[in-house]
Amino acid sequence: MTVQSVDVLVIGGGATGAAAVYDLARRGVRALLVEQLDLSTGTSGRYHGLLHSGGRYAGRDLETARECIAENQTLRRITPFAVEDTGGLFIATPDDPADFLAHWLDGCRKSGVPAEALTAAEARQIEPALTPHITAAYRVPDGSVDSFDLTHGFVEAARSYGSDALIYHRVSALLREGDTVVGAELQDTRTGETRTVHAVCVLNATGPWAGVVAGLAGLDVAVKFDRGAMIAMNTRWVNTIVNRLRPADDGDILVPVGTVCVLGTTAVDTDHPDDYRVEAWEVSKILREADAVVPGILHGRALRSWAGVRPLYEPPGAHHDDAHGREVARTFAVIDHAKRDGVRGLVTIVGGKLTTCRLMAEEAVNAVCDQLGITATCTTADEVIPLEMGAHGNAQKHYHHLDHRLRKLESDEMPGELICECEMVTRQQLAAAIAAYGDQPVTLDDLRRDLRLGMGPCQAGFCGYRAAGILGEMKKLTPQATNHALAEFVTERYRGVKPLLWGHQLRQLYLDELIYRRTLGLDQLPGVGAGLQTLPTRDTSDDEIGGESA
């Protein structure tokens, strides 16, 4: 068992936890971040990629709208490597309620969200694919943000100040001495080894798991789970974020992120923090609603679907304590358990948006510092995070801009064999990303988040086995471990494709099945295990293959 001591233990490797460990490090506090999987594998890595202007909340949640527009400007300034300035449009169609416009504009004015009126012709000049049936159009300062780059940027910057992060370490227990939390027991989810971390204070920044972690100390934090589904289309149908100008509803946004266009989202009550199901009705509704704004997208190639769980929170006794889904405010809450429960050494942060992660971290760290008697103030909004402090310290940012990769490939600036043709990932890039993990374990899914490996149309059909071979060689894995890594990656890719099996994506599945099951026999190889269903068979039931496209 490893034993170590830090000033503050931050639990949760999403955007808020990463921003918090960076904030603590800048204040001179020695902190350790722990995450049960890889960074940004929870809610932060399962959203639509929107850097909010606040416009989506101007009609119903002015506090969140104000926070979003302020932090939108801050993140643009301090993390430019993670942000694409797409701009945003709010578009009304004849199907949208005409009386909502005045209410929305009043909300924009009160919350400070800039909204510039455009004619229908001006909106379509910006985005020619938009429907000609536009009844109102406004421009807002939305953007898109790469949550993986953002989170890694915060963590690497924190490391440069002397703090650190441990991935694939799950908190199995909080250590409590009387009325004080004094640390945590951790378990390495890959090796089973245990670790004890003593800390003067623990910051619970675990999103949907905030109630579970607080429960380890015998405390109650009631989190409401709201599941939302999203779909990535094969190309960027728009280059500007497009929102429906109507009260918040399912399927009312299109977000260009990297090489794809993300359509979202739904809002479904659930009882589980890791409910990542995507149901057929969600796919159908999202596509139909998007088609009303961008005609023809319904018949485009839907590449992948996924879901995330929003951690919603309202204090007990709040006016809307029985609210659900979109009725719950998207503001955040910092719970100082010393003040609320008489238990020192623990602070919980819950709620909020990825856009407000830095502000959430600031408020949470203020509460931590109050408990520690530290007077240093937050400075995270003051300086730009250096570009070289991005994902795993890699200065070559925005790999997902394929035009940049193509230019470098054609000019021999990025030599080497292509491992992933769809996203133009070379052997050298892959090897550098693997080497950046040092002695830490790495999965193919980790490399996907770093390089977009396997995120193109074939969904790892051709790059998966190539990357597995390189990973096995570099990390000196046994053949069984390499087989398992490949099967795990292919299974995860199939999970996101399964709700979209029609047209081109169904044809792609049959090709992938031919490669992995019939040619490589992956499901029968040593080390794969019965728990990994790599791909369905061709004679599988209709429940497993098939979906609704309309």
For residues 430 and 177, what is the distance between their CA atoms, to the nearest angstrom? Answer: 46
The pLDDT assigned to 545 comes to: 39
Torsion of CA 99, 105, 111, 116, to 10 degrees: 150
Has residue 330 got a pLDDT over 60? yes
User: Which residue type occupies 77?
Assistant: R
Calculate mean pLDDT across residues 317-328: 57
Handedness of CA 4, 7, 9, 10 (dihedral sign): negative
The pLDDT assigned to 441 comes to: 84
What residue spans define the domains of the chain? 2-43+148-223+315-372, 68-139+225-310, 399-524
Has residue 305 got a pLDDT over 60? yes
For residues 458 and 513, what is the distance between their CA atoms, to the nearest angstrom? Answer: 11
Has residue 11 got a pLDDT over 70? yes
Contacts of 256 (CB under 8 A, 6+ apart): 84, 86, 144, 236, 237, 238, 239, 240, 241, 262
The pLDDT assigned to 403 comes to: 59
Q: Among 193-207, 246-260, 395-409, 521-535, name the one with the lowest average pLDDT.
A: 395-409
The pLDDT assigned to 393 comes to: 39
Please say whether the beta carbons of 404 and 398 come within 8 A.
yes
Max mean pLDDT among 320-329, 408-417, 451-460, 468-477 falls in 468-477
The pLDDT assigned to 327 comes to: 59
pLDDT in tens, 28-77: 999 999 999 999 999 999 999 999 999 999 999 999 999 999 999 999 99
The pLDDT assigned to 537 comes to: 65
3-state secondary structure of 250: coil
Q: What are phi and psi of 365, to 5 degrees?
A: -70, -35
Has residue 395 got a pLDDT over 50? no
pLDDT in tens, 141-176: 999 999 999 999 999 999 999 999 999 999 999 999
The pLDDT assigned to 190 comes to: 87
Contacts of 191 (CB under 8 A, 6+ apart): none
Please say whether the beta carbons of 69 and 110 come within 8 A.
no
pLDDT in tens, 501-517: 999 899 999 999 999 99
Give CA angle at 83 (79, 84), nearest 5°.
Answer: 150
For residues 48 and 230, what is the distance between their CA atoms, to the nearest angstrom? Answer: 7
Show the tokens assigned to 221: 């934090």
| Site of tokens 């919980």 | 348
Show the tokens assigned to 36: 């049960």
* Bridge partner residues of 196 (DSSP): 3, 185
Asked: is 2-43+148-223+315-372 a CATH 3.50.50.60 domain? The reply is yes
The pLDDT assigned to 400 comes to: 47
3-state secondary structure of 286: helix
Q: Among 128-132, 321-325, 343-347, name the one with the lowest average pLDDT.
A: 321-325
The CA-to-CA distance between both ends of the chain, in Å, stands at 55
Please say whether the beta carbons of 440 and 446 come within 8 A.
no
pLDDT in tens, 443-467: 999 999 989 999 999 999 999 999 9
DSSP string, 301-329: -EEEEEEEEEEE---TT-TTTT--GGGS-
The pLDDT assigned to 162 comes to: 96
Same fold, 2-43+148-223+315-372 and 68-139+225-310: no
Domain spanning 68-139+225-310: CATH superfamily? D-Amino Acid Oxidase, subunit A, domain 2 (3.30.9.10)
For the chain, the average pLDDT equals 91
Has residue 543 got a pLDDT over 80? no
Please say whether the beta carbons of 385 and 369 come within 8 A.
no
For residues 203 and 3, what is the distance between their CA atoms, to the nearest angstrom? Answer: 19
The pLDDT assigned to 259 comes to: 86
The pLDDT assigned to 178 comes to: 97
3-state secondary structure of 544: coil
Question: Which CA distances in Å does 503 have to 302, 422, 458, 540?
Answer: 9, 19, 13, 17
pLDDT band at 326 (very low <50, low <70, confident <90, very high): low
Has residue 410 got a pLDDT over 80? no
